[in-house]
Amino acid sequence: MLVVFFIPVIGVLLYRLIGISVKRDRFFKRAKIFDSSYNKPIDSSKIPQSKIPLATLLNRNHSSAISYRNNVDTLKNGKASFEYVYKDLEQASSSIHLDFYIIETGIVLDKCLKILEKKCKEGVKVRLVYDAFGTVEQYKESFKKLSAIGVEVRVFMPFNWLKYYMYLNYRNHRKIIIIDNKIAYTGGMNISDKNLDGDPDLGIWRDTYIRVEGDAAVNFERVFYNDWRLSGGDKYSLTQPKLSHDGNIPVQVIASGPDSDHCGIMQEYFTLITDAVDYVYISSPYFIPGEAIMTALKTSALSGVDVRLMLPLNSDSRWMRWCMFTYLDKLLASNVKVYLYHGGFLHNKTIISDDIVASNGTANVDVRSFETNFEINAIVYDNQTTIELKQHFFEDMDESIELTLESFRNRKDRNKLMESFARLTSPML
């Protein structure tokens, strides 16, 4: 309203682009990812007792689907993750589906191009969706190469002012790989060399992928299919292949965005925090939590739960860093432990709790991920997976600075004026 009042022409334009909610717009209501057919009772014998309310909540609001026959691997950083991805891509026999916010030229893309060219010649169906905002125009040549080798490429929300100008603020932030409807990957990593060679200013991007093999892959596939159709892709059949193993890990795939009736991922994070009994550890590169998550964090910490929050020491956006820091004073005063990671740029989006449940995916702890972006997370109800991610968190703590309330208030780089201005823009960041 301030922008509209003080800068009338530009303000009205900005309001039209990013101020109007389109949640109930017909464009986003064409298809339901997880419709009422997925609203089946949770198998309480396979979910930890204290986490049944979480699984039930997400199941009832049609934002997720749960499966129980899965194996899960946790992959730390780019080198290990991409080696797994390359191996699985090379073994694909029927389909490869890729859904990414950012695709950049470099070693990772070149390796993928070689593998995908080979698979296309073998008759494997390869489809790719990329976001028009995250993947900029300079990489058009790469997409020409992809199309030339037989990959079907679609752009999510292209900058077509006549058709999509109302939707330019609604971006596809998902990162998904699905192979043969049997194996799926998700996490913070894009197709980019930042997770291998790092950034000249920020260093290696610290990230986490999870690899899921089992029935959950088809639930990831349903999310991809919805993005594919929204991007103008043709219909194709969704099939559940026979598995060559008998995994026993429950995985709940949750998709959230402007096409959701509820803010499913915000509800997920809120419930993980408030239901924690012993601890809840959170890693996020961007932190604009909103009142609900702030209240949840403070309440859990004050009640005796070990609440830890890890953020990057240096952000890829100074404005975002100023905004994030405006929330930390109240958290520190409420016994939340805050760590600033300095071993590179912290980019993973992980929540772990009580050694029994872990969430990893694409959603940051910010309003944009909760309400505006198309996001995807995987919730794993498994002791071993949670312990592995907990160990990763402790390793990251060794490369972090723990804040105290006194040190935070007296920090040398404090800029009250810019932090105040940044906080005003938090709904748009």
Residue pair 375/255 in contact by the 8 Å Cβ criterion = yes
Distance, in Å, from the CA atom of 240 to the CA atom of 222, rounded to the nearest integer, reads 11
Residue 166's φ and ψ, nearest 5 degrees, are -75, -15
Q: Which of 131, 193, 354, 382 is catalytic?
A: 354
Q: Does 354 participate in catalysis according to the annotation?
A: yes
Contact between 54 and 271 (Cβ < 8 Å): yes
Judging by beta carbons within 10 Å of its beta carbon (0-12, 13-18, 19+), is residue 13 exposed, middle or buried? middle
| Catalytic-labelled residue, pool 76, 119, 175, 182 | 175
Mark whether 347 is an active-site residue: yes
185 sits in which H/E element:
strand 183-187
Told to judge if 261 belongs to the known catalytic residues of this protein, a careful annotator would answer no
**Separation between Cα atoms, residue 367 and residue 107, nearest integer Å:** 33
The answer to whether residue 173 is catalytic is: yes
With b for 16 or more beta-carbon neighbours within 10 A and e for fewer, the 133-158 pattern comes to bbbeeebeebbebbeeeebbbbbbbe
Cα(256)–Cα(254) distance, integer angstroms: 7
- Mark whether 121 is an active-site residue: no
- Report how far apart, in Å, the C-alpha atoms of 69 and of each of 46, 215, 239, 250, 369 are: 10, 6, 16, 7, 29
Q: One of 88, 131, 180, 366 is an active-site residue; which one?
A: 180
- Which DSSP symbol is given to 235? P
Spot the catalytic one: 62, 76, 97, 173.
173
Query: What is the set of active-site residues?
Result: 173, 175, 180, 347, 349, 354
